[in-house]
Chains A and B, each alone.
Chain A
Amino acid sequence: MNRKQKRLSIIAAGAIFLAGAAALVMSALSDQIVFFSSPTDIHTKAVSPNTRIRLGGLVEEGTVERGEGADVTFAVTDTNDSVKVTYNGILPDLFREGQGVVAEGIYDPSSQIFTADTILAKHDENYMPKEVADALKAQGVWQEGEEAMGKAAAN
């Protein structure tokens, strides 16, 4: 092979790689991304029972109930609407009533219960998960002044 053919073959190999990677990325993006919903979204938009979603809002005051073992149920509210969530496991340190939370899992429209397998509350007391903050702002509940600039933990 001469220099030109060599360069062409390297470029061709690179293009094949990129095409393959692009295909991987596209298929993963269409299947593996998780959309964020507020409690209002869940009730107004049809959510298919087998898709994973992220539900975000505030933990409604007075709704946290602990069951057998590590079972826990609570309601997530955006002050307009609320959704009942069940979860088995250890709650994050910053999980508190009245605080922001993001639950990831599956919503069953027939029983109207959200079964979470992951509960996120970021490890910074100032930090409201950004989806929650935005959703609350949309509801007009969130005051600008309260917004502490979350500090990206010195990473």
Chain B
Amino acid sequence: MITELGHYALILALATALVQSLVPLIGAQRGDAGMMAVGPMAANISFVLVAFSFLTLTYAYVISDFSLLNVVENSHSMKPMIYKITGVWGNHEGSMLLWVLILVIFSTLVATFGRNLPDTLRANVLSVQAWITVAFLLFILLTSNPFIRLSNAPAEGNDLNPILQDLGLAIHPPLLYLGYVGFSISFSFAAAALIEGRLDAAWARWVRPWTLVAWTFLTAGIAMGSYWAYYELGWGGWWFWDPVENASFMPWLAGTALLHSALVMEKREALKVWTVLLSILTFSFSLLGTFLVRSGVLTSVHAFATDPTRGVFILGILALFIGGAFTLFGLRAGALRTGGLFAPISREGALVLNNLFLTTATATVFVGTLYPLLLEATTGTKISVGAPFFNLTFGPLMIPLMIAVPFGPLLAWKRGDLMGATQRLYAAIGISLVVGLVIMALTSDEPVLAAAGMALGVFVILGALTDIVQRAGIGRLPASTAWARFKGLPRSAFGTAFAHAGLGVTMIGVVAASVYSTEHVSAMRAGDTVDAGGYTVRFDGITDVQGPNYTAKSAAFIVSKGGAEVARVASAKRFYPARQMPTTEAGILTFGASQLYIALGDFQSNGTLVVRVWWKSWVTFIWYGTVLMMIGGALSLSDRRLRIGAPRKAARPAKQAEAVA
């Protein structure tokens, strides 16, 4: 009964979204305040309805209601409660419902915090949001309904795919979707601005916090997914350039570009048209990612062809929204006045450079992801485009970008002084060169390029520090003055520094883990040892373990250094009978920034066990860097000038801009 109510609520949400998609829009055209006021109300009602619907599905999972097809396919009565709950979005139907839930959460946030937006802008934004809601609610109700009942309920379910029964993966999709779907706001703002034909710096000021929120969550989601793949799949890899990963990476790259171009627009009223275009592009990549992951096209082009309903439906949504937005853009972009002038060497120039690199990098990832699909669909030739392709295309684009990163914040707006910026970076350049040379000397048999990469990472970190030091005048002014200036720096300055330093930290992790890691595969008996990263790993025997819904063989290892025991770690192979599926539970120990990673292979007939021991040099830096980036995002967001909802102050310049326009 409760699930029927949930199903019904979802249909009501569709009806509400339909109202919201038209009434406020018409109201904005006519200047009818009553009609425009429908927008926030409808957004809040949609949110309540979809949230209720989501809760009923969760309830069905919690009580293991096996009369629901979706629960049977993805749950099991013996499954731990936490995975019963997270199992709600561990499948296609449930994850689409989560997608829509997050979409309506963002709409209701705009309705709530956007009180000081101009009424027409808010009405248009909410209508555009509702178009997206309508499209995806239709998709769920027509092709992916999680509320389908079975006439003969089985006694037990099929269980959730065991590799998804993990806390990391439990919170990965919500974070990722908060990012993906968060970009719908910048899209809706862009579409609303095009509909109104008005675009000013105040617009950028409203769009930027939303973009920042989405970007910060997307960063968290991608980092979480990467760490999950690292420890759960037992391959020791943290990024595979898999199409599913690229699907989330493309909106991240485009979103990063958008953050930077919106900055130019906000401060200097330049790059307006480009910022609108990027807003549309970024959300288009989110939609493309949803299509790639949700249509089944990646799993099998054939499956897509035999059961095309879902794929074609999302493809339709994709075509409608991207096509529609670009048509609107084509019609209206000419009418948008372009803004301030700037010299090529300037803060704006640096941000344009950033945008060129990032969008080009996005394009290479796009080609590498879609080319194999396209080739197979048209000619039937099957190819795989893997890491070598991306290393050769994406890599060369990132290196000059990383070199440029520290210079950007040191250049003045409008007209910058490259020599001056370089002089202020002398210390950073000097230290990173020394670091590079030392690494080169210490690792003479490793590629020189790796040492250069490490030095570049150090340069980016020091460059970020330099900006703060210079702005506060540390070392140049008396300590007390410098401290006062340091405290007085806007939060966004620290945000920039954290995010840029995080980039450098991640780069160091990526280079070190790729080049300086070691791998030892050997067949071991109890008592055998392997040396890795200066530690000795001794295999201490196997025990059988009985878990709630699995059985496991767990191998104990004793790690010692110089004869003294340092740590013990278990590495296991689990077997989940419900799905007849084994998983690897790697044993991971962290030493400083590096990790010792032990994964089990097969049991040999002669009684030995194949064990793979990795020494992953500095690997944790990859994720520490992303944490710094998230902190950077949060700091920028907390900047007074950007606080969502706060800008009573921002409302005034908007009115002025209106008057001018």
Contact = CB atoms under 8 A, between A and B. Distances in A.
Interface of A: 3, 6-7, 9-10, 13-14, 17-18, 20-21, 24-25, 27-29, 31-36, 54, 66, 68-70, 88-91, 93-94, 104, 123-125, 127, 130-131, 133-134, 137, 144, 147, 149-155
A89 B521 contact: yes
B244 A155 contact: yes
B382 A35 contact: yes
Contacts of B89: 154
B385 A32 contact: yes
A9 B352 CA distance: 12
Interface string B223-238: 0010000000110000
B517 to A, nearest CB: 15
B302 A133 contact: yes
B360 A17 contact: yes
Contacts of A54: 384
B152 interface: no
A31 B390 CA distance: 12
Nearest to B163: A123
A21 B397 contact: yes
A36 B386 CA distance: 13
21 contacts: A3-B338, A18-B360, A20-B360, A21-B360, A28-B392, A31-B392, A32-B386, A33-B384, A36-B384, A66-B604, A70-B522, A70-B610, A93-B584, A124-B161, A125-B579, A137-B302, A152-B296, A153-B164, A154-B95, A155-B225, A155-B247
A90 B300 contact: no
Interface stretch (B363-371, B487-495, B589-597): B363-371
Contacts of A68: 523
Interface string B389-419: 1001100110000000000000000000000
B91 interface: yes
B169 interface: yes
Contact of A9 (B344, B393, B599): B344
B104 to A, nearest CB: 21
A69 B523 contact: yes
Contacts of A10: 352
CB-based closest 7 A-B pairs: A90-B601, A150-B299, A36-B382, A32-B388, A28-B392, A130-B300, A32-B389
Interface in B591-640: 599-602, 604-605, 610, 612
Contacts of A124: 161, 163, 581
A152 B244 contact: yes
Nearest to B73: A151
A91 B302 contact: no
B312 interface: no
Given A33-B383, A34-B383, A134-B301, 9 more contacts: A7-B338, A17-B360, A24-B396, A32-B392, A69-B610, A70-B601, A93-B582, A125-B581, A130-B301
A25 B367 contact: yes
A149 B383 contact: no
Interface residues of B, number: 74
Contacts of A35: 381-383
Contacts of A34: 383-386
A36 B383 contact: yes
Contacts of B163: 123-124, 153
Contacts of B521: 69-70, 88-90
Contacts of A7: 338
B234 A93 contact: yes
B580 interface: yes
B293 A152 contact: yes
Given A13-B356, A89-B612, A131-B382, A152 B388 contact: no
B173 interface: yes
Given A21-B397, A35-B382, A66-B602, A29 B389 contact: yes
B371 A154 contact: no
A21 B384 contact: no
A151 B300 CA distance: 10
Contacts of B172: 154-155
A152 B294 contact: yes
B293 A6 contact: no
A93 B234 CA distance: 9
Contacts of B522: 69-70
Contacts of B371: 29
A101 to B, nearest CB: 14
A5 to B, nearest CB: 11
B341 interface: yes
A144 B604 CA distance: 36
B352 A66 contact: no
A40 to B, nearest CB: 14
A124 B573 CA distance: 15
Contacts of A125: 579-581
A154 B173 contact: yes
A127 B296 CA distance: 12
A3 B360 contact: no
A33 to B, nearest CB: 5
Interface in B291-325: 293-294, 296, 298-303, 306-307
